[in-house]
């Protein structure tokens, strides 16, 4: 699979071009007398920008194009850094001149040094620009509807899991007859809906009178943290169940416990055994303990199970198509009959993965028939992400990559920046927007402030399933209530 870093090239190039444009329009910056260099650099960047969509599309299968994009990305970063340095030096000199402490002789060395950097940057960019002719790239018109930048996505209703929910509850009930302590793992590939499935179980009326605890385990396994979280949640619920006991219940409600361990990655036998012992001790006072653990790894599921693990099944193509239809507002579209067959073909490519269906639905939301066909026929679907053999992950990552490639350049930068956070990291919305603005990824327009623009970016990333709302309670920063979000990094982003 082509590196996502190659697809980041357009966003980085756009940022560099913006800094060149700002420098051209800044009279103070032009005191450095780089006007001609700036004009040439701007024209070169504009020429490259015109063919970027074709270059990114071809990078999927062509290693030489990926290498060209990688060089372009590095050059664009260098240009951005150079203008940051130029702006800093200009600001410093302006301040010194204001207080009449600037010796004209001291300005020569910085100008010479910056002139050398400017020349090298321009030559490198010219070389990359000339190399593009070897690939015969063509300019492709942008098909993304601008309305998408401000659209609010209503997440599709949960589809196709009702029968499975009943089946898992039956398995737990059957295991309950022979054991007071049960661990039932639920496993399957990433994005197939394990967490959502566990949430449906957690909130099912069958467990209405149970004491319950939900723990997000993540790739960083910390047994003490897991124990503390379970203990605090169960203690909090203890008092809430006293007055809700059903008179004909066979076991007091307070003696039934449901624990969900979501996203378990730990594969070490000793640590998993310690976890099982810790969970079993919770029921040492005569409680019946039911544990549901979600994991991607069948081996982990087998190691921790006390009753046979449940492999979550892919959704049917019809269910994936239903999710897509709900997100794109299919029933209200005038062209729905034209789109139906193409939409069903796209739904097949989801491989029964809910995450893929949601991501594709959001991407198709404002596209016309030709846009839907381009998604269906994209070469991304034909490239294995796992080497020479196919993998269940291939279509999932392909759908997410299509979503990523459909983003406008500034949104790619915003999401790529989040690669500094690990999967599942909780971010405060306001903090993230502050960081995007400070880095120059988002800027105000005549109609929208930087703050509103940042909010729109977050809404889009939530809708595309690259972010998700955290289950943690809201927090306050500087007196402002904020709802944390989790990062879902299904792709490794590289420069």
Could you give the CA distance from residue 336 to residue 486 in angstroms, rounded to a whole number? 34
Q: What is the pLDDT of residue 395?
A: 64
pLDDT digits 0-9 by tens, 180-212? 789 999 988 777 888 888 888 898 888 888 999
The whole model's pTM is what? Answer: 0.56
Could you give the CA distance from residue 279 to residue 289 in angstroms, rounded to a whole number? 8
Share of the chain above pLDDT 90, in %: 13
Statement: residue 246 has pLDDT above 70 = no
Q: What is the pLDDT of residue 172?
A: 87
Could you give the CA distance from residue 301 to residue 278 in angstroms, rounded to a whole number? 17
Mean pLDDT across 229-235: 89
pLDDT digits 0-9 by tens, 410-428? 888 888 888 777 766 778 8
pLDDT, the chain, mean: 75
Statement: residue 489 has pLDDT above 50 = no
């Amino acid at each position: 699979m082509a590196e996502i870093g190659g697809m980041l090239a357009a966003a980085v190039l756009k940022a560099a071009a913006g800094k060149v444009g700002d420098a051209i329009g800044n009279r103070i910056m032009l005191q450095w007398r780089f006007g001609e260099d700036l004009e040439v650099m701007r024209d070169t960047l504009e020429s490259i920008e015109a063919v970027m969509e074709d270059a990114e599309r071809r990078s999927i299968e062509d290693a030489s194009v990926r290498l060209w994009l990688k060089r372009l990305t590095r050059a664009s970063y260098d240009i951005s850094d150079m203008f940051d340095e130029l702006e800093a030096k200009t600001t410093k000199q302006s301040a010194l001149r204001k207080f009449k402490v600037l010796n004209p002789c001291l300005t020569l060395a910085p100008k010479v040094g910056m002139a050398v950097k400017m020349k090298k940057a321009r030559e490198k960019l010219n070389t990359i620009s000339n190399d593009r002719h070897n690939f015969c790239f063509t300019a492709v018109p942008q098909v993304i509807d601008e309305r998408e930048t401000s659209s609010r996505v209503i997440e599709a209703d949960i589809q196709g899991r009702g029968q499975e929910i009943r089946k898992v509850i039956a398995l737990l009930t059957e295991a309950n007859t022979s054991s007071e302590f049960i661990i039932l793992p639920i496993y399957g590939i990433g994005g197939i809906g394990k967490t959502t499935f566990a949430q449906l179980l957690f909130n099912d009326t069958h467990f209405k009178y149970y004491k319950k605890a939900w723990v997000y385990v993540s790739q960083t396994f910390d047994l003490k943290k897991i124990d503390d979280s379970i203990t605090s949640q169960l203690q909090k619920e203890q008092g809430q169940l006293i007055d809700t006991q059903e008179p004909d219940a066979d076991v007091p409600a307070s003696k039934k416990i449901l624990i969900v361990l979501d996203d378990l990655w730990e594969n070490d036998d000793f640590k998993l055994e310690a976890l099982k012992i810790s969970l079993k001790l919770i029921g040492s006072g005569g409680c019946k303990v039911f544990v549901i653990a979600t994991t991607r790894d069948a081996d982990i599921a087998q190691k921790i199970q006390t009753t046979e693990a449940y492999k979550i099944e892919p959704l049917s193509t019809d269910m994936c198509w239903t999710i897509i239809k709900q997100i794109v507002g299919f029933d209200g579209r005038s062209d729905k009959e034209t789109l139906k067959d193409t939409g069903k073909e796209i739904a097949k490519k989801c491989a029964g993965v809910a995450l893929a269906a949601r991501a594709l639905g959001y991407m198709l939301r404002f596209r016309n028939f030709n846009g839907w066909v381009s998604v269906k026929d994209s070469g991304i679907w034909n490239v294995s992400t796992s080497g020479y053999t196919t993998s269940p992950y291939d279509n999932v990552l392909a759908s997410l990559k299509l979503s990523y490639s459909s983003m406008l350049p500034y949104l790619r930068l915003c999401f790529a920046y989040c690669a500094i956070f690990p999967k599942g990291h909780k971010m405060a919305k306001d903090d993230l927007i502050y960081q995007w603005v400070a880095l120059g990824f988002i800027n105000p327009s005549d109609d929208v402030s930087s703050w509103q623009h940042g909010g729109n970016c977050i809404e889009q990333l939530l809708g595309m399933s690259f972010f998700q709302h955290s289950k943690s309670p809201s927090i306050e920063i500087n007196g402002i209530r904020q709802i944390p979000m989790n990062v879902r990094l299904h792709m490794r982003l590289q420069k």
